[in-house]
Structure 1
Amino acid sequence: MSSLWKSRLGRLLLACIVWSLPCFQATAVDLDLQDSQNITAVARDLAWDLVSFYTGNHTGDVPGNLPDPYYWWEAGAYFGTLVNYWVYTGDTTYNDLTAQAILHQAGPNRDFMPPNQTRTEGNDDQAFWAFTAMRAAENNFPNPPPDQPSWLALVQAVFNEQAQRWDTQKCGGGLKWQIYTFNSGYTYRNAISNGCFFNIAARLARYTGNETYAEWAESVWDWVAAVGLIGPEYHVFDGTSEENNCTDLNHIEWTYNNGVFLLGAAHMWNYTNGEDRWGKRINGLLRAQSSFLSTEEASKDVLYEAACEPISSCETDQFSFKAYLVRWMADTAKLAPFTFDTIMTRLRATAKAAAAQCVGGETGTYCGMQWTTGTYDGTTGVGQQMAALEVVQANLLEAVAGPLTHDTGGSSKGNGAAGTETSDSSRDPRHLRAITTKDRVGAVAATVAASCGILGVSMFMVW
């Protein structure tokens, strides 16, 4: 029996014993931010519960997929959290599972466009898998076998394909949300798709030292600012429609939109040896996080999803958005050290509040979402668990090196031509099978909510 299953069996037996006690009362996770061993132990418990949602390693299931109601893009983000868990704790328990998932979902063209997703895949969906591969490259996650694409080459393939999709026919540039004309949202140019492209370009520039990537990052930022997706006070708005030549903005703000530009700007600040304009942009984005920071004395500086949390209308995707914000904040603190105090004040307060929500499920360590309330909200799910794990383990950031580059020890070998061999038009969706509910892919809930107004309360998976 593997050590993973021995550990799993022990946890299940313990859960059975605990749940058999009639007087059992759930108590919050005991998180001590002054004790790195305690933080690691709490992260280990939260990671265990996170992996319990995964079914892709079950007989008959597909490696890399999460079950309903989770979209394909969130599965990509999920494995980024497991890479991050290894970075912060050194625990290799989930490394093989993670590598298998990433490589399987890379698809036959090695570009994160597997055939069973192509019919509905958007630019942001593809990018979230690229983020996971980039995190693997930047942190020397064990490299794939020689017959498989490198982590870096996977990211370069996504970059090259998205650069070809940059569309100047309307709005003076920008990436569309969707890749194919028949998908709803094809004429919507959203912050997350363009932010992902900016983020990838900035990280490739820093990792490889190639100025072409930096030039793309500059161009994307300039376009986003020109159309107003990043406002004068650095608030990042959800999107705009090319039907009005990108003159009408949807002003909803999501945490991950702030974070995706923050980390890209931090890479550019680092890459340019501290150019003032990038420092100004980083500070502006940190100030704009006021939209997501509680001002109540009992929960001061705790992050929340302002667009849906206060009215309990967050949907499946939105439960996970804070996970990416805190993940990218932590990297920013390493890349741009002048941000450290500001960011750590927020991460510490948020980690304590998140841990207090981790009292659910069969183990008593499944986490809810509403960290500012001081009371468990009764929900569990992949997004809630990812977010809590990310903010807890981010408090170990002083003990890790931060994102590497090719010159500082990064070992992933690239392929600058990756992704240029196969065009989008060659993937004829008419030859694909019919869409199923499980195939419908990421950011749908977020953008539909942004376009049509926030919709009702989600159905939650309760364990």
Structure 2
Amino acid sequence: MRYFNGRQLCATSLLLLLNAQTALSDLGITVNNDDSYISAAKEVISPMMEFYKQNQTEGIPGKLTDTWYIAGSMFMTLIQYWQASGDDTENKIVSHDLMFQAGENYDYFSSNYSQWLGNDDQMFWGLAAITASEAGFPERDGKPSWTSLARAVFNEQVERWDSTTCGGGLRWQVWPYQAGYGLKNAISNGGLFELSARLARFTKNDTYQDWAEKIWDWSAKSGLMNVKNWNIYDSVSNDDQCKSPDNHQWTYNYGTYLAGAAFLYNHTNGDEKWLKRVNGLLATSLQTFFPKKFGGNTMSEVACEPIMTCDRNQICFKGYLSMWLAFTAILVPSTRDQILPKLQGSVEAISTMCNGQSDGMSNLCGLTWGAGKFDGVKGLEAQMSALGGITANLMLSATQTPKTIDTNPNADEGTVPSSGESDDPSKPKPITTADRAGAWILMVIVSVAITGAVGWLVKP
């Protein structure tokens, strides 16, 4: 018989305890096992919803501290998860809060926030709404359809199409006093392209496809997108007529254009033009965001992850691209064999990475999926990104094609907001007088403040 001294026993006990904690905290995902995906998703959602409750501004549903759009993208993710899993645990909150933030005109441009929102902020809520339509998410009694909310976002954004510089394009910000108003960026234009493409497929209304074509053509011509090497740049500036693109590479920029192209490929019954575009963007996306450092099959936000500088927005991005890759594999079946190992490799990494613990919460997910363990980055955004990675695998397992008006007639875009918006989406709804008045007042206040500050600085 072998004997252990006290020190050996302590060391052995500690090792067993640490191993047990690791085993308990691992999400336990088994690739191609839906039950393990759903079980893991629930573990990730629990702290995500706790962060959501903790960060609501004064208890306002859907309004998080220092941000507005992130709740909308969270609802988009949760709706997609519900559709792929059948787990309706969070549906009541999602349904109420998604409609609550539609605002007084049901356009996701409430006067409470419109003075400082960007086009990309509003766009994410529109994508959440069209996701609800495609998923068959239950409609709200006495309220506009989810499709009509998505259409209202489309109508307002195409009204802001700016041909005064660079031959067109959507500015990043809505108002001239906002930093970024002088830029036309990929997420605003790519997001509107994706929204247009998905509305075209869902409603079968040619107006949306016409706009999608227009946005794509402008993006390629302006320099936001290089169709020779299929790079998508973050932004271009009005100051030099959009000749010097910002070279930053972000997953979600690629995701919006890739998903939009995939929806249009499916909508056009396999148009070779859109297949070529899907294949081009997909090849660059897989080469850029799945580095050899993590084995080549784990997604990474390469512009900020290696130096751990990703902000709360950038932490979200990988989850979006994951779900949009899944849509691409479903809508363009020839891409599935390329996409599947990337999403499976990523979800295996997520399983081992989401083992953080803090403030009574467990299964916290960090920033770097390929780290092999929790890297200390915590919050709603990290949980949502991981949930997107898990959901993408569920989507491929279910292979449920997004619905159209034929299979979800309850989501008719003709159910219009009470504001009297036109049934014709080719006639955009302009920004309201109240919005412009509020923005003008805020601009005056800002101008006075700046003038006062400059006067104080130069005063002898």
| Partners of 1:266 and 1:332 within 8 A in 2 | yes
CA 1:406–1:148 in structure 2 vs 1: closer, same or farther (change >3 Å)?
same
| Partners of 2:76 and 2:128 within 8 A in 1 | yes
What's the counterpart of residue 195 of structure 2? 200
Q: Distance in 2 between matches of 1:288 and 1:410?
A: 37
Unaligned 5+ runs, structure 1: 1-20, 436-463
| Partners of 1:133 and 1:155 within 8 A in 2 | yes
| Partners of 2:298 and 2:346 within 8 A in 1 | yes
What's the counterpart of residue 384 of structure 1? 382
What's the counterpart of residue 228 of structure 1? 223
| Partners of 1:82 and 1:94 within 8 A in 2 | yes
What's the counterpart of residue 295 of structure 2? 299
Q: Which amino acid aligns with 1:183?
A: Q
Q: 1:124-163 maps to which residues of 2 (within 5 A)? A: 124-145=120-141, 147-163=142-158
Q: 1:56 deviation in Å?
A: 8.1
Rg: which structure is higher?
Answer: 2
CA 1:183–1:429 in structure 2 vs 1: closer, same or farther (change >3 Å)?
farther
Q: 1:420 deviation in Å?
A: 4.5
- TM-score, scaled to structure 2: 0.85
What's the counterpart of residue 42 of structure 1? 40
Q: 1:91 deviation in Å?
A: 1.2
More helix by share: 2
What's the counterpart of residue 6 of structure 1? none
Counterpart selection for 1:99 from 95, 99, 104: 95
CA 1:343–1:411 in structure 2 vs 1: closer, same or farther (change >3 Å)?
farther
Q: Distance in 1 between matches of 2:31 and 2:437?
A: 50
What SS class does the counterpart of residue 406 from structure 1 fall into? coil
| Partners of 1:262 and 1:282 within 8 A in 2 | yes
Q: Distance in 2 between matches of 1:312 and 1:57?
A: 23
What SS class does the counterpart of residue 121 from structure 2 fall into? helix
What's the counterpart of residue 60 of structure 2? 62
| Partners of 2:159 and 2:429 within 8 A in 1 | no
Q: Which amino acid aligns with 1:168?
A: S
Indicate yes or no: 2:177 matched with 1:177. Answer: no
Q: Which amino acid aligns with 1:38?
A: S
Q: 1:378 deviation in Å?
A: 1.5
Q: Distance in 2 between matches of 1:327 and 1:348?
A: 12
Counterpart selection for 1:367 from 358, 365, 374: 365
Indicate yes or no: 2:396 matched with 1:401. Answer: no
Q: 1:429 deviation in Å?
A: 4.8
Q: What is the count of residue pairs matched by the alignment?
A: 411
| Partners of 2:323 and 2:391 within 8 A in 1 | no
Q: Distance in 2 between matches of 1:409 and 1:430?
A: 38
CA 1:84–1:295 in structure 2 vs 1: closer, same or farther (change >3 Å)?
same
| Partners of 2:368 and 2:375 within 8 A in 1 | yes
For residues 16-55 of structure 1, give each alpha carbon's deviation from its aligned partner in whole angstroms, at most 9, with x where no partner exists.
xxxxx98673442211113211111111111122111112
Q: Distance in 2 between matches of 1:84 and 1:387?
A: 13
Unaligned 5+ runs, structure 2: 1-15, 415-422, 444-460
What's the counterpart of residue 412 of structure 1? 411
Q: Which amino acid aligns with 1:254?
A: W
What's the counterpart of residue 161 of structure 2? 166
Q: Distance in 1 between matches of 2:237 and 2:435?
A: 26
CA 1:250–1:92 in structure 2 vs 1: closer, same or farther (change >3 Å)?
same
Q: Distance in 2 between matches of 1:284 and 1:109?
A: 39
Q: Which amino acid aligns with 2:403?
A: L
Q: Which amino acid aligns with 2:412?
A: K
Q: Distance in 1 between matches of 2:354 and 2:442?
A: 39
Q: Distance in 1 between matches of 2:153 and 2:38?
A: 33
Percent identity of equivalent pairs: 38
Q: 1:375 deviation in Å?
A: 3.3
Q: 1:284-363 maps to which residues of 2 (within 5 A)? A: 284-289=280-285, 290-296=287-293, 299-361=295-357, 362-363=360-361
For residues 274-331 of structure 1, give each alpha carbon's deviation from its aligned partner in whole angstroms, at most 9, with x where no partner exists.
11111111111111111111213x5322110011001111111111011111011111
What SS class does the counterpart of residue 350 from structure 1 fall into? helix
More divergent stretch after superposition (358-367 vs 117-126): 358-367
What's the counterpart of residue 244 of structure 1? 240
CA 1:434–1:167 in structure 2 vs 1: closer, same or farther (change >3 Å)?
closer
Q: Distance in 2 between matches of 1:278 and 1:72?
A: 33
Q: Distance in 1 between matches of 2:371 and 2:200?
A: 41
| Partners of 2:259 and 2:324 within 8 A in 1 | yes
For residues 218-264 of structure 1, give each alpha carbon's deviation from its aligned partner in whole angstroms, at most 9, with x where no partner exists.
11000000012111211110000011111111011100000000100
Q: Which amino acid aligns with 1:105?
A: Q
Q: 1:428 deviation in Å?
A: 3.1
Q: Distance in 1 between matches of 2:140 and 2:85?
A: 21
Q: 1:425 deviation in Å?
A: 4.5
Q: 1:170 deviation in Å?
A: 1.0
Q: Distance in 2 between matches of 1:101 and 1:173?
A: 34
Q: Which amino acid aligns with 1:332?
A: T
**Aligned-CA RMSD value:** 2.2
What SS class does the counterpart of residue 408 from structure 1 fall into? coil
Q: Distance in 1 between matches of 2:441 and 2:79?
A: 32
Q: Distance in 2 between matches of 1:291 and 1:421?
A: 38
CA 1:212–1:434 in structure 2 vs 1: closer, same or farther (change >3 Å)?
closer
Indicate yes or no: 2:118 matched with 1:122. Answer: yes
Q: 1:180 deviation in Å?
A: 1.1
| Partners of 1:119 and 1:429 within 8 A in 2 | no
Q: Which amino acid aligns with 1:293?
A: F
Q: Which amino acid aligns with 2:385?
A: A
| Partners of 1:321 and 1:383 within 8 A in 2 | no
Q: Distance in 2 between matches of 1:275 and 1:330?
A: 20
Q: Distance in 1 between matches of 2:366 and 2:278?
A: 30
Q: Which amino acid aligns with 1:139?
A: A
Q: 1:360 deviation in Å?
A: 1.0
What SS class does the counterpart of residue 365 from structure 1 fall into? strand
| Partners of 1:229 and 1:249 within 8 A in 2 | yes
Counterpart selection for 2:204 from 206, 209, 226: 209
CA 1:410–1:230 in structure 2 vs 1: closer, same or farther (change >3 Å)?
farther
Q: 1:434 deviation in Å?
A: 7.5
- TM-score, scaled to structure 1: 0.84
What SS class does the counterpart of residue 25 from structure 1 fall into? helix
For residues 328-374 of structure 1, give each alpha carbon's deviation from its aligned partner in whole angstroms, at most 9, with x where no partner exists.
11111111111111111110000111121100123431111111232
